[in-house]
Amino acid sequence: MTSIARPGKIIALHLNYRSRAAQRGRVPEQPSYFLKPPTSVAASGDVLERPSGTELLGFEGEIALVIGRLARRVAPEDGWSYVSGVTAANDFGVYDLRYADKGSNLRSKGGDGFTPLGPAVLPAADVDPAALRLRTWLNGALVQDDTTAGLLFGFGRLVADLSQLITLEPGDVLLTGTPAGASVAGPGDVVEVEVSAGGHSTGRLVTPIAEGTVPFGPFGALPRTGEEQRADAYGTSGPAFTLSPELRERIESVGTATLSVQLRKHGYHDVFIEGLTSTRPGTRLTGRARTLRYLPYREDLFRAHGGGYNAQKRAIDALGPGDVLVMEARGERGTGTVGDILALRAQVNGAAGIVTDGGVRDLAAVSALDIPTYHAGPHPAVLGRRHVPWEADVAIACGGAAVCPGDVIAGDGDGVLVIPPHLVEEVVDAAIEQERQETFIAEQVAAGERVEGLYPMDEHWRGKYAAWLAQGRP
């Protein structure tokens, strides 16, 4: 094993793992690339600053190839022979700036320290390029785990393809793409990447994340964050879903009871967040899920993760307009998961609501806020009695329901539902039609009609319903 020096050039792939292609909803016909500056290289243990004013610092664990000899117009079957070693890499990028240099990724992925490499290089002669394993951890939790058996384009082909036009020189580095599971890290997080094969390992490439303190000047592109950027950063497959004001209004025109019927017709029976009470039962809740998970309290874990600017506070600060913070507290009511100060911060940020299957502190003060908070009950104890704030924007379980970042959350006096984004339009259209039919049926019942054949409507009543609609009824 040897260490790696700063390369002459760094070439990175846009998309190269089947798992990532499935997540993105597209499979490229040919490999495509972008350049990262040599000044972006960092070593294991180097602290990476998330630039001030940005939200979406994406990490991507990758296998890096180190070129060992001059490669120019080589054949695919010979490409691997030009590789001297492999190491772990992390292809960091700020999604808030992707629009600024679209395609080139220069500003979004070219920052100082945005390409950690190492800590050791495995000699190419000691490993099988078709049997390498790549793993990435975020705060100790495994988030990426794939092998080179899942590559779309093999390493030899990549070397050959690039060498058709570009001379690859000794020391150059090729980043070979990231598998599914790449996501977002924030200040206080630690990202680790390891490449292994058989008994060989690069060791873990460790990158602690800190908050940047120097703001961007007004003489260049400034960070810009929205639904599309968040969808890309957190790994949402397919085109980004937007909860427009018009769609929000349509959702809120029907009750959660009606929405639940339509979800059940689509085969979704476990989308209720059970056992919660709203601080504002007369206020509708509609928004996109941002998630937070608590672990059961353990002394050493709380010492490491419970104090300071922990995951709970970071999640609250990261909320934006229309977001709903959904918290997994395992149904533990024996302590608070949010109090008046943090609930106020969520409201000031424009968040649509808070949902927790745990307790709430300062319930009277939280109830006095405009933001609706669904909770399992009041409790005066602080977080550390039962919980360790652990991670944000991951799939969680809340009140018996699975919740993924970006899911649509709908709440009213009957309770809270989770709606997968790809079903929202269809479910809402059907729910509106259902309530329109029920308005007609209620009118008939009020006029003295029997429910037999009317509820649900038979062919006779469907004809009368069509005539009712033709009269311009709602």
Residues 450 and 339 in one domain: no
User: Quick one: tokens of 355?
Assistant: 């949902």
Residues 438 and 412 in one domain: no
Determine contact, residues 362/340, Cβ cutoff 8 Å.
yes
Tell me, yes or no, whether 262 lies in a domain: no
Residues 415 and 438 in one domain: no
Tell me, yes or no, whether 246 lies in a domain: no
| Domain ranges, residue 23 | 10-234
Residues 75 and 188 in one domain: yes
Give the integer Cα–Cα distance in Å for 419 and 259: 9
Tell me, yes or no, whether 250 lies in a domain: no
At residue 150, the pLDDT reads 87
Give the integer Cα–Cα distance in Å for 287 and 347: 13
Tell me, yes or no, whether 2 lies in a domain: no
Angle between helices 424-446 and 245-252 in degrees, nearest 10: 40
- Residue after which a domain boundary falls, among 183, 215, 234: 234
Task: Judge if the upstream peptide bond of residue 456 is cis by omega within 30 degrees of 0.
Answer: yes
Angle between helices 459-470 and 424-446 in degrees, nearest 10: 100
At residue 25, the pLDDT reads 64
- Residue after which a domain boundary falls, among 395, 419, 443: 419
Give the integer Cα–Cα distance in Å for 379 and 362: 8
Going 247 to 250 to 254 to 260, the CA torsion angle's sign is negative
Residues 35 and 149 in one domain: yes
CATH code of the domain containing 32: 3.90.850.10
Tell me, yes or no, whether 243 lies in a domain: no
Determine contact, residues 72/163, Cβ cutoff 8 Å.
yes
In this structure, the dihedral spanned by the alpha carbons of residues 418, 424, 429 and 433, taken in order and rounded to 10 degrees, is -10
Tell me, yes or no, whether 261 lies in a domain: no
Full pLDDT tens readout for the chain, 474 residues: 445 678 999 999 999 998 888 777 677 889 999 999 999 999 999 999 999 999 999 999 999 999 999 999 999 999 999 999 999 999 999 999 998 887 789 999 999 999 999 999 999 999 999 999 999 999 999 999 999 988 999 999 999 999 999 999 999 999 999 998 999 999 999 999 999 998 899 999 999 999 999 999 988 888 988 777 887 888 754 445 678 899 999 999 999 999 999 999 999 999 999 999 999 999 999 999 999 999 999 999 999 999 888 989 988 987 888 999 999 999 999 999 999 999 999 999 999 999 999 999 999 999 999 999 999 999 999 988 999 999 887 889 999 999 998 899 999 999 999 999 989 999 999 999 999 999 999 999 999 999 999 999 999 999 999 999 988 776
Q: Which residues of 26-56 are buried (b: 16+ CB within 10 A; e: fewer)?
A: eeeeebeebbbebebbbebeeebbbbeebbb
Tell me, yes or no, whether 413 lies in a domain: yes
Residue at token pair 């190491």: 87
Residues 53 and 95 in one domain: yes
At residue 314, the pLDDT reads 85
**Closest CA relative to residue 132, chosen from 64, 198, 219, 56:** 198
Give the count of alpha carbons within 13 A of 161, CB side only. Answer: 15
Element (H, E) at 445: helix 424-446
Residue at token pair 């070439």: 11
Task: Judge if the upstream peptide bond of residue 119 is cis by omega within 30 degrees of 0.
Answer: yes
User: Quick one: tokens of 247?
Assistant: 């769609």
Residues 55 and 180 in one domain: yes
Residues 41 and 169 in one domain: yes
Give the integer Cα–Cα distance in Å for 433 and 437: 6
Tell me, yes or no, whether 350 lies in a domain: yes
Q: Is the pTM of this model over 0.75?
A: no
Give the integer Cα–Cα distance in Å for 16 and 132: 14
Residues 80 and 183 in one domain: yes
| Single-letter code of the amino acid located at 76 | P
Residues 396 and 431 in one domain: no
CATH code of the domain containing 333: 3.50.30.40
Residue at token pair 């379980």: 397
Domain count, the chain: 3
Phi, psi for 311 (deg, rounded to 5): -60, -35
